[in-house]
Amino acid sequence: MLERLKKEALNGNPATVDDALKLNESYSADMLADAADEIRIRWCGDVIDTCSIVNARSGRCSEDCKWCAQSRFHNTGIEEYDFVPENEAMRAAMLNETHGIKRYSLVTSGRKVAPRDMSRFCDLYRKLGESTGLYLCASMGLLNRDELMQLKEAGVKRYHCNLETSASYFPSLCSTHTQADKLKTIALAREIGLDVCCGGIIGMGESMRQRLELAEEARNAGAVSIPINILNPIKGTKLEDTPLLSEEEIIRTVALFRFIAPKATLRFAGGRMRLSPESMRRIMRGGMNGALMGDMLTTIGNSVADDKQLFSETGFKEQ
């Protein structure tokens, strides 16, 4: 079965959730990761796709997402502000470009950026476009067509909107918006010609089936990039006591994501700094081909130097 589904994926045909679950039940983590690595090489090569983010608006979010430190329903002690200082955003962008990081995104807390604030963010994007050669991305919530078009006209090329988890599990984690709301914004972004980055968080109490449903739903939404975050339980949130996924479970999940989304960039994102060096290397040679580098909004990420060493050790070339 493994050889058959690998051959299908090598031909661009994704596995179904049911087939991926059968793989998980029938084969070792190393066997799955080795097969996923072949699929990754076929469709993505040995080039690592790198990006970075800046927390452009922090805290006071009206949404009740159980995992999030920035929700006003949680008391996590994070720094709160409406706009990142322009000079700070510019300095971070230029530093990232110096490090060879390809993509850069402003990320805002809240259900969406208010229309009155959109022009300010667009002005910042224009300055970033004039001052750097970075590929600009945005993550600003549940925007409408006009707001997305404003970002595109300001130089944004990719819009990020995580589904977070599967449609079957999402209602147990958030009640103030729906996955359908997210899919509407994602569809609008694609309609106006923006690439879409869309993934989620694993380890929030979901089943393996629900994890794989997320991969399928992100692929079906047209995601060219699928970030895989590992829950970092934050004190003060509703998920602060959630048991951590085992490292083997994470390795298996990434490999199976590659079977379900053979052509996408699978992006190693938040929560990975707790993993052993051996597991990180296994994941990079087990289906992953992208990385979110630097700090992760309200948590600390791996250092750029550590990531570059990881890429070198696992045979990846930077773009």
Q: Binding-site residues for [4Fe-4S] cluster, please? A: 61, 65, 68
Q: Binding-site residues for [2Fe-2S] cluster, please? A: 105, 137, 197, 267
State residue 298's pLDDT score. Answer: 44
Q: Pull the structure tokens for residue 294.
A: 């630097």
Domain range annotation of the chain: 14-314
Query: What are the φ/ψ torsions at residue 300 (nearest 5 degrees)?
Result: -90, 135
State residue 294's pLDDT score. Answer: 74
d(CA 282, CA 29): 10
Superfamily, domain 14-314: Aldolase class I (3.20.20.70)
Nearest to 165 by CA among 246, 241, 66: 66
State residue 297's pLDDT score. Answer: 44
d(CA 249, CA 208): 9
State residue 182's pLDDT score. Answer: 96
Q: Binding-site residues, please? A: 61, 65, 68, 105, 137, 197, 267
Mean pLDDT, contiguous 10-residue spans, the chain (319 residues): 98 98 98 98 97 86 84 73 90 92 93 89 97 97 97 98 97 94 97 98 98 98 98 91 97 98 96 94 98 63 84 92
